[in-house]
């Protein structure tokens, strides 16, 4: 995820540098974005501290083998992982944007008269159209992700859905679909989360979000008190994706769950 976001920001900035425009406006926009990211970083760091305290409280008050408690703990840890991911992405964005801002400023100093005038070489219009489409896609995704980071989950859902509708087959599409599901998951709307996580599996079966979607499906079904369906998703994850990051967590959930009804008493 982080690499894709950084690549998208670089693509957007490259598009800006290639097209005519006002350097002062570009610098203002970049500085505004940096200020936004800095505020978001501070908020996420506070959230991480609060949620980490919740996990410590759970560990000190309950036993480790209770499936309902482990489910609650897993969801809390998932929240921590999500916050840490946001923090890493925003830190990368801040670093990348500051580097690009320095480049724009240097370019401005080297061109006091503004961009060179004149027509574009043959074929450049087509290339610019592609770059413009890339910048639109990047803007949609980044806007939705910022809404998610800020806790505006309904706006994030709307933005990611717009992205998937307009750009259904890009490298970002499976991430956008996953973020729709993740927004519902964070909101505690587990029925909707299940529907959206399933779309990750059905529509992007080769995507890199499949293992995490399976794990979140298991957690969602536990919250819906459908233990057996949750167990099936955890088992599939462990079997099909033995090296995935989420596999260890899925196995821990399986180990903590009571045996299925047909195995009881054996």
pLDDT below 50 — which residues of the chain? 1-2, 6-7, 9-10, 13-26, 28, 64, 99-110, 114-119, 265-266
pLDDT value of position 228: 95
Q: C-alpha angle with apex 153: 152 to 158, nearest 5 degrees?
A: 105
- pLDDT tens digits, residue range 130-182? 666 777 888 889 899 989 988 999 999 999 999 999 999 988 899 999 999 99
Cα torsion 66, 71, 76, 78 to 10°: value is 130
Q: Under a CB-based contact definition with an 8 Å cutoff, are residues 44 and 86 in contact?
A: yes
- The CA distance from 28 to 35, in Å, is 11
3-state DSSP of the chain: CHHHHHHHHHHHHHHHHHCCCCHHHHHHHHHHHHHHHHHHHHHHHHHHHHHHHHHHHHHHHCCCCCHHHHHHHHHHHHHHHHHHHHHHHHHHHHHHHHHHHHHHHHHHHHCCCCCCCCCCCCCHHHHHHHHHHHHHHHHHHHHHHHHHHCCCHHHHHHHHHHHHHHCCCCCCHHHHHHHHHHHHHHHCCHHHHHHHHHHHHHHCCCCCCHHHHHHHHHHHHHHCCCHHHHHHHHHHHHHHCCCCHHHHHHHHHHHHCCCCHHHCCC
Which residue do the tokens 């008050």 mark? Answer: 61
pLDDT value of position 174: 95
Which has the closest alpha carbon to 202: 178, 183, 226, 228?
Answer: 178
Q: Which two tokens stand for residue 37?
A: 């990211």
pLDDT value of position 150: 87
63 burial via Cβ count (<10 Å: 0-12, 13-18, 19+)? exposed
Q: Under a CB-based contact definition with an 8 Å cutoff, are residues 218 and 226 in contact?
A: no
Q: Under a CB-based contact definition with an 8 Å cutoff, are residues 213 and 182 in contact?
A: no
Q: C-alpha angle with apex 80: 211 to 208, nearest 5 degrees?
A: 20
* Residue ranges of domains in the chain: 1-116
Q: Which two tokens stand for residue 74?
A: 């897993």
pLDDT value of position 14: 47
Residues 6 or more apart in contact with residue 92 via CB below 8 angstroms = 2, 5, 6
pLDDT value of position 129: 61
């Amino acid at each position: 995820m982080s690499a894709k976001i950084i690549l998208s920001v670089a693509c957007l900035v490259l598009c800006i540098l290639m097209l005519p425009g006002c350097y002062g406006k570009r610098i203002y926009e970049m500085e505004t974005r940096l200020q936004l990211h800095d505020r978001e970083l501070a908020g996420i760091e506070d959230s991480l501290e609060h949620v980490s305290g919740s996990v410590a409280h759970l560990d000190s008050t309950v036993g480790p083998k209770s499936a309902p408690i482990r489910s609650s703990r897993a969801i809390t840890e998932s929240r921590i992982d999500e916050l840490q991911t946001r923090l890493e992405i925003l830190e990368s964005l801040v670093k990348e944007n500051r580097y690009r801002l320095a480049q724009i400023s240097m370019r401005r100093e080297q061109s006091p008269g503004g961009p060179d005038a004149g027509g574009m070489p043959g074929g450049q219009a087509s290339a610019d159209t592609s770059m413009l489409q890339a910048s639109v896609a990047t803007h949609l995704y980044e806007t939705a992700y910022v809404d998610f980071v800020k806790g505006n989950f309904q706006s994030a859902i709307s933005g990611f859905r717009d992205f998937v509708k307009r750009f259904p087959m890009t490298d970002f599409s499976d991430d956008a679909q996953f973020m729709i599901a993740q927004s519902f998951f964070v909101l505690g709307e587990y029925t909707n989360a299940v529907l959206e996580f399933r779309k990750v599996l059905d529509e992007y079966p080769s995507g890199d979000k499949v293992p995490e979607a399976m794990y979140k499906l298991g957690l969602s079904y536990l919250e819906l008190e459908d233990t057996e369906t949750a167990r099936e998703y955890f088992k599939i994850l462990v079997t099909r994706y033995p090296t995935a990051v989420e596999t260890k967590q899925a196995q821990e959930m399986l180990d903590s769950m009571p045996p299925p009804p047909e195995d009881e008493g054996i």
